[in-house]
Amino acid sequence: MQLWLRPVLARTIIDHAQRNLPNECCGVIIGVGIEAHEVVPVPNIATEPELHYRMDDRVLTELFFRTQRDNKAIIGFYHSHPTSEPVPSRTDVALASYPDMAYVIASLRGEEARLAAWSIKPGQVKAIELSISESKPTPEEAPLSLVQKRAIIASVIIAFLFMLVLSLSLLPPAPVIPVP
């Protein structure tokens, strides 16, 4: 999995996080495939916004309808960690409800803000490639699955056997050996 943000969109996320200090901010990433076209801040309605985030359900629902109407999709979510690393917390993992989305975390800890992207599925948290650049990244090559590897091996064996049979069928007939 991969996510591509142009620098202006990454800056928008960081600016949103800095404006909301000491609270966490949150928002939606809209785009197509791996390409983000827009980031939309969503109000954090958590009861303790300095510790957690909860997106306003009304705004989130409106965004789902808007993206569908515009032939786009919500491809990810973002939120900030004002004082910790850009790594999903236990609460982040427990509340992640969309397993096919990218979860971007903006960390304001330290001198320079940092972004990291994650895939969060039940029982599984994996870092995903976050590309921040003006030009679209080259697609990552997925490793071959076991079925694909077996299909390649079977194809090689069948091709070898076919060539062997073809070669044998093209041999001239054996000479007749006279019997004394």
Q: Would you say residue 126 lies in a domain?
A: yes
Using only C-alpha atoms, the chain has a radius of gyration, in whole angstroms, of 27
What is the arithmetic mean of pLDDT over 57-81? 95
Active centre residues (catalytic): 24
Cα separation, 43 vs 26, in Å, equals: 7
CA pair distance 162, 168, nearest whole angstrom: 10
Give the residue numbers spanning the domain of 62.
Answer: 2-132
Range 128-150 average pLDDT: 82
Percent of the residues in the chain that have a pLDDT greater than 70, as a whole number: 98
Number of domains in the chain: 1
Question: Is 167 within a domain?
Answer: no
pLDDT (tens digit per residue) in 96-116: 989 889 999 999 998 899 999
Residue 87 phi, psi dihedral angles, 5° rounding: -125, 135
The verdict on residue 23 lying in a domain is yes
Give the model confidence (pLDDT) of 22-46 as tens digits.
999 999 999 999 999 999 999 999 9
> What token pair was written down for 119?
């895939």
Say if CB 48 and CB 22 are below 8 A apart.
no
Residue 31 domain flag: yes
pLDDT at 141 (0 to 100): 59
> Average pLDDT of 143-169?
90
pLDDT for 154 equals 93
CATH code of residue 6: 3.40.140.10
In a domain, 143, yes or no: no
Most confident residue range from 32-41, 119-128, 169-178: 32-41
Is the pLDDT confidence value at 51 over 70?
Answer: yes
